[in-house]
Each structure stands twice: as C-alpha cells, then as structure tokens.
Structure 1
Amino acid sequence: MLLTVGSATTNLQPLISDLGLILMTAGIAVLIFKILKQPLVLGYLIAGFLAGSHFDFFPSIKDVHSIEVWAEIGIVFLLFSLGLEFSFKKLVKVGGTASITATSQIIFMVFAGFTAGQLMSWKIMDSIFLGVMLSISSTTIILKTFDELGVKAQKFAGNVIGALIVQDILAILMMVLLSTIAVSQQFSGSELFLSVLKLIFFLTIWFVAGIFFVPTLLKKTKHLLSDEMLLIVSLALCLLMVILASNVGFSPALGAFIMGSIIAETTQAEHIEHLVKPVKDLFGAVFFVSVGMLINPDTLIEYALPVALLTIITITGQSFSSTVGSLLAGQPLKQSVQTGVSLSQIGEFSFIIATLGASLHVTSDFLYPIIVAVSAITTFTTPYMVALGTPLAIYLEKKLPRKWVKSIQDYSANADAIKIMTSLQIALRAYLFQIILHSIIIIAIILLSGKYLLPFVQETEFGHTIAAFITLILVSPFLWALSLRKIATEAVNELFSTKKQRGPIMILIFFRIGLGLFFIGFIVNNFFSPATAVLSLIFAIIAYFSFPKRLQKRYLTIEQHFLSNFNEREISKTKHLRKDLTPWDGHMATFDIAPSSNIIGKTLNELRIREKTGINIAFIKRGEITINMPSRNERLFPKDEVCVIGTDTQVKKFKKYLNQNEIEPPEESEQTDIVLQHLKLKNLEYIGKSIRESKIREKTNGLVVGIERDGKRILNPESHLILEENDILWVVGDKKLLSSIIQN
C-alpha cells in the first residue's frame, strides 16, 4: 500500500511542481504588471517565457505535455466564459454599424496578412493562418484599456464593443473553416460552402435545442442547486457541448462558446458567470503562460524583421480598415478614427488560432513565437493608440480636403435616415426565416431517428412502421408550421388587397406546401419499401391535412415554451421591477400605444396623464429599450408598450383615455412615406430666416428635428433659430415633398 502511494506521489510530482512553478511565476509577474498598470496578459506571457526551456536562469517546466493539456482546457473555459458574456440578442442590438466595421477589418487584414506571408516566401498554410491571426482584435486588452482610460461610456466605445462581438463570432467561423482547409490541404469553394452549411445547420439545432431544454433544467432544479452544484452542472453542460462539437468535426472551443451563449439567456447567467470566473482565470492563466513558454529568443532574433513588419501591418492595417469600415457604416469621421485606432492590436484569439495550426501540424514552428511577439508589442501600444484617436481625428478634419469632410458628413447624415421596410420585404423575410428554421429542425429529427430510433426498433415485427410513425409524430408540428402556418399576416393581407407584388408570396406559399409534402415522402421512403411507401404517403398526407388544429396547438405549445425560455431573463427582470414598484392596493397593467393615436409625439408633461387618470407610468418599452420611470419630458411613440400603476378604477380610466384619443383611419387613404431626410441648406430663400419664417414645416408637411452646423448637432431646435448657409437640416416629413425641396 505504501509502495502504491509512493509510486503515485512520484508520478504526480512533476505535474504538481510544474503547476506550482507556473502559478508562482504568474503570480509574481501579475503583481509587477499590476503595479506598472500594464495588461495582465503580458505578465502571463513573460511568466511563461521565464518558466520555459528557452530561459536558463530560472527553473523550467518538466512535463510540457501536461501543460499543453491544461492549456487546451484553458481555451475551452475562456470561450465558455466569453459565451456567457455574449447573448444572441446582443448581435441584433449591435446593428449594422458594428457588423460592417468588423467585416471590413477582417477581410482587409486577412488579405494583408496572406499577402505579407507570400511576400516573405512562407508556405500557403502559414500565410492563411497568419492572415486570420492578424485580423482579430483583443477583447480582453481593449476592455481593460477602456476601463483604465475611462472612455467606456463614450459613443465610439459602443461601436468598438459591438465590432468585437461580431469579430468573436467570425473568429469561431474562421476556426471551423481553417480546420476544414487544414485537413483537405486545399482551398475548395465547394468544401467551403458545405462547411458553412454544416456550421449553420448544427448551430441552429444546438441553439434551438439548448434554449428549449437548458433553461428548463436550471429552472426546475434551482431549489436543489447550491453554488457548488450549479458550478458542476454548468461545467458539465459546457463539456457536453464540447463533446458534441468534437464528434461532428468542429473545434471544442466552438462547443464551449455555444453552451456559454445558451446559458447567457437564462436568469442564472450572471450567477454562473461569477462562479465560473475563478475556474476561467486559473486555466486561462495556464493557457497564456503556455503561450509564453513558446517564446524563443533565438527565433525572435532570426525573425526580427518579420516581427517588425507584421507589427506595422497590424497597427496601421487594423486602424485603417476599421476606420474605413466605420465610415462605410455611416459613422462620423471622429468616431470612425477613434474606433479604428482602438482595434489596432491582436490578442487571445490569435493565440488560440495559432494553437489550432500547431495542433493540426499545418503551420511552421516559427509562426507561433512571431505572433506572440507581435501581440506583446501591439498590447503595449494599445493605450497610446486609444489616446491618439481624438487628436488624430481633429488633425484629419483640418488636413483633409474640405470637400471630403463635407462628403463624409453628408454620408453620415444619410445613413442616419429612417429606413422603412416595405410589406414585401417584411413578408419575404418572415417566410424565408420560417422555411429555413423548420427545414433544419425537420431534417435533424429525421437524421436522429434514422441513426438512433430505427436501430433500436428494427428487430421487432413492425420496426420500420413504428420508427416511421414516431418520426412523423415528432415532425408533424414543424411540418404544419413549415407549410400551413400563417406568417406576417398584416403584410401579406396588404399585398393581396392592393394586388401588387403578390407573385413572390404566391410562389413561397406553394413552395412551403410542396416542401412539407417532400419531407413526408422522404420519411416514408426511408422506412418503407417503394410500394408500401406510396400507400403510407397517401395515408400520411390525409392525416396531415385532417388535423390542422391539433398540430397547430402542439406547435404553439412548443413555440411558447421556447420563447418563454428565450425571454426568461428579460421577463424575470420585468417581474422583479414590477414587484418592486407595485404599491399597496394598486396593480400593474400594460397597454400598447396605437399608431393612429392623438397622443403620439407629445410629452408626458403635455398629456398630463397622471392628473387626468390618476395612474403612474412605471416604464415604457420601446423595441429592445426599456425606459424605467420615464421623466415628464419623455415622448410617446407608435407601438410603445406603456406599463402603468393604479387601482382598477384608475386603470379603466386610462384605457378609456387611450380609446378616446385613437383616430379611426379613413376607408381609402393615399399612402405617404414619412422619412427622416437631411437637407443641405444652399437655397438663398431660406438663409437668414428663422425656422418658422422659412415655412419648411408647411412645405414638407413635416418637422425640423435637428440642425448640423460646423460639425455640431442641435437636437429639436427652437423655431426662432436663424438658418445659416451650409446648415444641414434634419427634417421628418413626406418623402415626395422633401424631394421637391431638395431639387429646388
């Protein structure tokens, strides 16, 4: 027994001593870098260099393989934590500005990095990996720099953070594509397309299934889970998704990221993030230290020129491409420059991608230390680049041709104009979304049934019949939603009533029905012989069209459960708010402001709702934005969701007040397009006059909501403000009338 224990101790000794050396070195380096107010990531890298085999004046790591395993675990937990901070709803909120900025930057830098690698006569795979590594900025370094410089609340910071979210998603996609290219050793367009389709398929299935089951699991077991158990369950879910991702050929990091983003939609996301943070910090430190261990001074001296060249390419290329992308997205020059210089570094994702290349044995040994060196240099320069943003923007505004600056201002103003989606666009988007989503779900159920259900029952007498019957029952609600469910009814009814642009909708309606019948035929053909399949198909179609209400009920139950889980976090916050706000015998009630109401556009002070009805407004929900306890100057807009507090009598009085102020639309009315348009003031007819004297409001049937003058914007200007030459007016009005003003 003693020999066994002694043997185990001997086997564990290198592992324990190595871990102790790593943590001791990392701890000292972190303390020093904290005192110097430098990014902790650099401290970890230097700690790794000191503990590595390339530095002889310090104890070295003995069991490198174990450290590599821990580093891989560190990548998993880093991506899991990143997913916990990321919500799929955030991607929608960052909007087109961040997406255009990030996409422009990545495309430019991948091309620049690949070209630089080829010019240095590197291998094709080295050049491809180099381009991808140079294209991803560091979320950790940027957020820490923003905190230290106190700029996180500035407007450009929101665009930077949004671009980082998009970059992280695209980085995950590129890791999958790099794995495919590395295995096939060639860049095939068809393989790339199939890889993207495969990724979209599995991401959709994992997300839908995860949102359907994981929040329910955590909610049902909440009373049983202590902090310790919740941590174990969360990590178990993370590793389960890691296994699933690995089994279908994706990187483990992708699985960890997906599970993190699923848990991010639950009410316990913040608590889980807090519990996981020490685990992430521990293994993340091991990962960054393992990266530092690969720094070879001899390699850096030998490749000093490539390091210097790639550092210049990273700083200038990232800054330039991000600035151009932000300008293309319609941001002003100053904010675009600030965004560009903030994204001028590489970091943790570059290390992860470099690790991927090394593990697949497709990149050269010199690439890793070069990327680490470039990252270290650009990490040091990041605070200075962020601080340089404002002075550089001012300098460019002075030095660039005046015509260019005005063109940028005009483009930015145009990009801020309100974009109204047509009924056809609304209908087409809804139809395509339903077709793609439900087709993926149906295909997944059929594949799972064929792989797991059929082998389980096929030995029985009616095995194929049982498998086909169960499969049809499972997919039937989704078949109904795919082919028979009414979608975007208002937009479709409008298209059919006006008899315009009905063709695409009719095609999609018949396509949906045909696709549903195809899936039914595909199922019965998979489980029956051709002769039996025909009879089964007829029977299945008759049954399918005979019970639409039951199928609808089943589908709506499933959909309601999914949406309840998906919105659970927001619903919980709202309930918590209501619980805190509800006074004594009063209660909360929610009303929608009709688009045709008289009270639209007026402030709460002008409406005097409290004086007239006795209620108080708890919050106003406007799209994704919730305005808690709105001030008296807050205006009401169409389709606002207003939550009020009052007694039964007061709430009824408020409801009556809303009904009295709703305008009945005429039976036949000419449709007008109301838009936000900017007008560059050159017409002498308006210069020198006040807004009221210019009669722009009467001529456009609109309202002057803003003036841009010498780069400054005045919101809701007073009617007596005198108009000057080269003023840019923002006017809300009829599109045709505004066009006539512009032409004059």
Structure 2
Amino acid sequence: MPLAQLFLELGAVILALAFVGRAAGRLGITPIPLYLLAGIGLGAFMSLGDAPEEFIHIGAEIGAVLLLFTLGLEYTSQELRDNLHANRGVGLLDVGLNFTPGLLAGLLLGFTPLAAVLLGGVTYLTSSGIASKVLADLGRLGNRETPVILSVCVLEDVAMAAYLPVVAALLIGGTLAAVGVNVLVALAAFALAFFLALRYGPLLSRVVNVQSNEALLLSVFGLVLVVAGAADLLRVSAAIGAFLVGIALSGEVAERTRTLIAPLRDLFAAVFFVFFGLQLDLGAVPEVLLPAALLAVVTSITKFYTGWWGAARAGVQARGRFRAGATLIPRGEFSILIAGLGLGLAPTLGPLAAEYVLLTALIGPVLARFDGQLAPLLDRGRPGETQVG
C-alpha cells in the first residue's frame, strides 16, 4: 500500500475518534460506547486496506495491555494480595452466575457441547480493559468498590489460565496428559509472574527509575511489552502480565510513570475500542440479534449482582455497589478471542459473540455514568446509604 494512502486512512480513523471523544466530553460520559459505534460506522462506510487494519489491530492489543498496566500502577502488591484473599467468594459466585447462562444458551441454540462451553467463557469474562477505562474516565480508581472490581478481573484471568489450555487441547483432540501439561504450564507461569511481582517489585522500581523522563518512558514501555509477550507465549493473558508489571512498580517511579504513560494509554485505548466495532459483520446481525440481546440482558443482571454482592461484603454502600456492578458488565477482548476458537464448531458463534460484546460494552459504561440517579432505585428502605460510596 502507498504510504500516502496508509496515512490518509489512519488519519481519518484517528480524527473520527477525536470528534467522538469531544462529543463524549460534552455529554459527560465515558467515550467507550461512542468509540464502539464509530468503529461500526467506519467499518460500514470505509474499506480499510490491509496495512491500516493490521496497524489498528496491533494498536488495539497495545491499548489493552496499557490499560491494565496503568490499573496495576494504582495498587501495591500487598493491597492486591489482601483483595484477592478477601474476594475468593465473589470469584466463585462470578463463575456460577456468569458462565452458566452462556453454557445453557449454547445448548439451547443447538451448539455442540464444546461450543456451548466456549459460549460460557464468552459470557463469563468481564473486559478488564473496558472496566479500567471506565474507572479512569470517571475518576474512580481510588473508590472503595474498585478493589472488588479489580479482584474479580484478576480472578477471572487466573481461571482463564486453566480454561484456555483445556479448551485448546480439546479443539485439537489432545490427550488427557497433554491437557494436564498445558494447564500446569499456564498456572505455573502465572504463579511465577505473580511471585516475582510481589517479591522483586522494589528492586525493579529502583532499576528503571532514572532521571530522564524519556529513558523512563522507553524503559517501562519496553518492559511492559516484553512481559506481555512472554505471558502470551505461556498461555497467560498478555494484559494480566502487564498488570503485574504495574503492581511491581511503586513509589516515585510509579507516580512518574503514571503521568508519562497516560497519553499513550489514551491513544491506544481509543484504537482498542474502535477495533471492536470494525470487527462486527453487519450482514450477520439480524440472524443472531435476538439471542445476543437476550443473553446480554440476562448476563448484565448476573454480572451486576456479582459486583453488587461483592461490594456489599466489603462494606461499600449502595452507590458504590451500583458502580461495582455496572463496571463489571462489559465483556470484550477475551470474549472475542474465545469465540474465535470455536468458529469451526459453530459458525454463528463469532457474530453472536461480537454483538453480545458490543451490547454489554454499551450497557455497562452508560449505567456506570448514571449511578447517582439509578442507585437509589435499588436501595429501597435505606436512602441514606446512597449518598456515599
């Protein structure tokens, strides 16, 4: 592709995102839903070449990684450890309430048992990328309910470290021994990364903490991409690898990095969300719109209850419980990935998952924005609690 055409197409996409971001600012909402709709519009009216589409795809992956990295910067290793221990029960509830609807829906739609298991994975996983963007956009990273949201996302990624190797082995007809080895490798890689982040975080902070902002940015950005790539090779989420790098950094270096990385995060995060919209095949919408909508409604309720219940256990009051539930609703990057694994088993699984992800990614951020108006409706008999979160 000529360089001029590449620049023109990429420039048009980024300018569209700029206008969308300004519109979201005027409306006082997170730009995520508008980015998704912009992606759909661009996909319907523009035919991007292979090079721009590949660039946007890579940018989307970097966006997901940076979103989780910056979320990790907000927490110390001890806070993460305590939150995971305190929210194990929420993690179990999350599996029961949010994996089951997808599994049952798959069976009702006539999918094979393995394809139904894949749809269960699609409905189970909150998009940690969208959740972290909502928290940052609405200024809620320091809220009392945020550790519950964080714990749910991390526990889901731990579950995925076992789930994905099993599913991948079953798809290629692997033996029981091969499945066991894949699961052990993934879990061991996650445990090792977690241990290194907790044990050697202060040392890493001292090593990368240089006076030059340029050198610090390059050091941290390169480290995040290397760890994310290594995590992906070991069948652990690339985003969770980046998250653990964020956890490992602390003190002055974390503060400086947070400021330096923010513009990069915002740029690639916008690309990340528009890429979802670009992936949606509008021609397949009518066939799977009804099941996708029903599944989105049911699992929005179950995921909302997961967050509400978890925040209530943590002593958070009604408005914070509402925020926790709404922030956990969106599904995203991993759901699309899981659906892609089963396209040979059920051709409609891909379009169904894409529409489902889009709907939940619209519902969650909008509900999270209007917590002040909606939370009192769910707190009957205890109106005083809605004033603080």
TM-score normalised by structure 1 residue count = 0.45
Contact 1:71 1:290 in 2 (8 A): yes
1:131 maps to 2:120: yes
After superposition, what is the alpha-carbon deviation per residue over 1:479-528, rounded to whole angstroms, capped at 9, x for unaligned? xxxxxxxxxxxxxxxxxxxxxxxxxxxxxxxxxxxxxxxxxxxxxxxxxx
1:216 maps to 2:203: yes
After superposition, what is the alpha-carbon deviation per residue over 1:288-347, rounded to whole angstroms, capped at 9, x for unaligned? 1111112333433322211321222023222344445566x4859xx4796267414656
Q: Which residue of 2 aligns with 1:312?
A: 297
Deviation at 1:130, TM superposition (A): 3.4
Q: Which residue of 2 aligns with 1:61?
A: 48
Q: Which residue of 2 aligns with 1:357?
A: 338
The whole-number CA distance in structure 2 between the counterparts of 1:68 and 1:111 is 31
Deviation at 1:67, TM superposition (A): 2.2
Runs of at least 5 residues in structure 2 that lack an aligned partner in the other structure? none
Contact 1:338 1:386 in 2 (8 A): no
Contact 1:324 1:336 in 2 (8 A): no
* Matched AA of 2:278: M
The whole-number CA distance in structure 1 between the counterparts of 2:370 and 2:245 is 36
Q: Which residue of 2 aligns with 1:245?
A: 231
Deviation at 1:188, TM superposition (A): 9.0
The structure-2 alpha-carbon separation of the partners of 1:123 and 1:331, relative to structure 1 and needing over 3 Å to count, comes to farther
Contact 1:245 1:255 in 2 (8 A): yes
The structure-2 alpha-carbon separation of the partners of 1:190 and 1:321, relative to structure 1 and needing over 3 Å to count, comes to farther
Q: Which residue of 2 aligns with 1:16?
A: 7
The whole-number CA distance in structure 2 between the counterparts of 1:298 and 1:285 is 25
Q: Which residue of 1 aligns with 2:325?
A: 343
Note the 1:304-453 alignment, pairs <5 A.
304-324=289-309, 329=313, 335=317, 339=321, 342-344=324-326, 350-357=331-338, 360=341, 362=343, 364-366=349-351, 367-384=353-370, 387-395=373-381
Of Structure 1 and Structure 2, the greater strand share is in 1
The whole-number CA distance in structure 1 between the counterparts of 2:277 and 2:97 is 28
* Matched AA of 1:242: A
* Matched AA of 1:256: A
The whole-number CA distance in structure 2 between the counterparts of 1:192 and 1:166 is 27
After superposition, what is the alpha-carbon deviation per residue over 1:122-159, rounded to whole angstroms, capped at 9, x for unaligned? 34455334333433445246536865xxx999xxx52x
1:83 maps to 2:72: yes
Note the 1:504-543 alignment, pairs <5 A.
none
Contact 2:296 2:356 in 1 (8 A): no
Task: Give the secondary-structure state (helix, strand or coil) at the position aligned to 2:356.
Answer: helix
Task: Give the secondary-structure state (helix, strand or coil) at the position aligned to 1:121.
Answer: coil
The structure-2 alpha-carbon separation of the partners of 1:65 and 1:310, relative to structure 1 and needing over 3 Å to count, comes to same
User: Which of 191, 206, 214 pairs up with 2:193?
Assistant: 206
The whole-number CA distance in structure 2 between the counterparts of 1:221 and 1:141 is 26
Task: Give the secondary-structure state (helix, strand or coil) at the position aligned to 2:350.
Answer: coil
Contact 1:29 1:46 in 2 (8 A): no
Deviation at 1:356, TM superposition (A): 2.2
Q: Which residue of 2 aligns with 1:35?
A: 26
The whole-number CA distance in structure 1 between the counterparts of 2:371 and 2:181 is 40
The structure-2 alpha-carbon separation of the partners of 1:316 and 1:359, relative to structure 1 and needing over 3 Å to count, comes to closer
Deviation at 1:101, TM superposition (A): 3.0
Task: Give the secondary-structure state (helix, strand or coil) at the position aligned to 1:250.
Answer: coil
* Matched AA of 1:368: A
Of Structure 1 and Structure 2, the greater helix share is in 2
Q: Which residue of 2 aligns with 1:120?
A: 109
TM-score normalised by structure 2 residue count = 0.80
The number of equivalent residue pairs is 372
Note the 1:103-182 alignment, pairs <5 A.
103-137=92-126, 139-140=131-132, 143=135, 147=139, 158=144, 160-182=145-167
Q: Which residue of 2 aligns with 1:404?
A: none
* Matched AA of 2:17: A
Farther-moved stretch of structure 1 (98-107 vs 289-298): 98-107
After superposition, what is the alpha-carbon deviation per residue over 1:646-688, rounded to whole angstroms, capped at 9, x for unaligned? xxxxxxxxxxxxxxxxxxxxxxxxxxxxxxxxxxxxxxxxxxx
Deviation at 1:388, TM superposition (A): 2.9
The whole-number CA distance in structure 1 between the counterparts of 2:371 and 2:54 is 38
The whole-number CA distance in structure 2 between the counterparts of 1:61 and 1:247 is 29
Q: Structure with the greater relative contact order (CA < 8 A, sep ≥ 6): 1 or 2? A: 2
Note the 1:294-309 alignment, pairs <5 A.
294-309=279-294
Contact 1:45 1:291 in 2 (8 A): yes
Task: Give the secondary-structure state (helix, strand or coil) at the position aligned to 1:307.
Answer: helix
Deviation at 1:227, TM superposition (A): 0.4
The structure-2 alpha-carbon separation of the partners of 1:35 and 1:105, relative to structure 1 and needing over 3 Å to count, comes to same
Q: Which residue of 2 aligns with 1:530?
A: none
After superposition, what is the alpha-carbon deviation per residue over 1:694-721, rounded to whole angstroms, capped at 9, x for unaligned? xxxxxxxxxxxxxxxxx9xxxxxxxxxx
User: Which of 288, 292, 296 pairs up with 2:277?
Assistant: 292
Contact 2:166 2:182 in 1 (8 A): no
After superposition, what is the alpha-carbon deviation per residue over 1:51-75, rounded to whole angstroms, capped at 9, x for unaligned? 11xx23xx44222233222222222
After superposition, what is the alpha-carbon deviation per residue over 1:581-617, rounded to whole angstroms, capped at 9, x for unaligned? xxxxxxxxxxxxxxxxxxxxxxxxxxxxxxxxxxxxx
Deviation at 1:360, TM superposition (A): 4.4
Identity of aligned residues (%): 22
The whole-number CA distance in structure 2 between the counterparts of 1:386 and 1:48 is 29
Instruction: Indicate the structure (1 or 2) with the bigger Cα radius of gyration.
Output: 1
Task: Give the secondary-structure state (helix, strand or coil) at the position aligned to 2:280.
Answer: coil
After superposition, what is the alpha-carbon deviation per residue over 1:542-600, rounded to whole angstroms, capped at 9, x for unaligned? xxxxxxxxxxxxxxxxxxxxxxxxxxxxxxxxxxxxxxxxxxxxxxxxxxxxxxxxxxx
